[in-house]
Amino acid sequence: MEERAIDNKTTFIAIIMMASVVILSNILVQFYLGAFLTYGAFTYPIAFLINDVVNKLEGPRRARQVIFWGFVVGVVCSLIGSQIEGEFGPLVTLRIAVGSGLAFLIAHFSDTYVFHFFRKLRWWVPPLVSSTIGSALDTLIFFSIAFSATFVFIEPQNDVAWANEASALLNFFPIDTPLWVSMAAADFMVKLVLASLFLIPFRRIVSSARQINV
């Protein structure tokens, strides 16, 4: 019974942290850093760290619970954002809401599965591999649904022509791509760097939690 109480407490804390990250990222994604990134790109990857820590300490079932409540908070944020008018219309369009919701669910459930699949390997393999795959899925799904001309049928009245203007990839590589591809590439690179850096807090949090529960 005492062990179950500890698990419930840990899961509750993780849910609060996941919800906080989702809310903060939804706010910071409105503010751009340079031509391709928003400040939300630097806070959202923390969600993968939270998911991996819960998975390591309590298993995939608990991790899925945390993901579910993070998704619920994300939906609420999208509903609120859709009612707030910005300079170019609602802060959250239907395409952004659908893209972010699907990306969150698919990316984090994939992260949970991949982490569990590799959990018996060296300690750094599961979080690094799962976060990398999850980040790739998250980036691809969100940016393609939110900005690609392919998915214009989701919200025909939403003009995303600006995101499909051809330009050099990241304004550096001599490859003409839609602007949203450069945004996605920059976002994914940030996620890769943070996934590597987050191995340090992952290791320390897991070690500290196990010492406390001994």
Residues 180-208, mean pLDDT to the nearest whole number:
96
**Residues 99-117: tens digit of each pLDDT:** 999 999 999 999 999 999 9
How confident is residue 155, by pLDDT bands cut at 50, 70 and 90?
very high
pLDDT at 89: 67
Q: Structure pTM?
A: 0.90
Strand ranges (DSSP E) for the chain?
Answer: 32-33, 37-38, 85-86, 89-90, 166-169, 173-178
Q: What are phi and psi of 37, to 5 degrees?
A: -110, 155
Tell whether the model's pLDDT for residue 3 goes beyond 70: no
What digits encode the pLDDT tens for the residues 64-101? Answer: 999 999 999 988 888 888 787 766 667 788 899 999 99
The token pair that represents 169 in the structure block: 């990839």
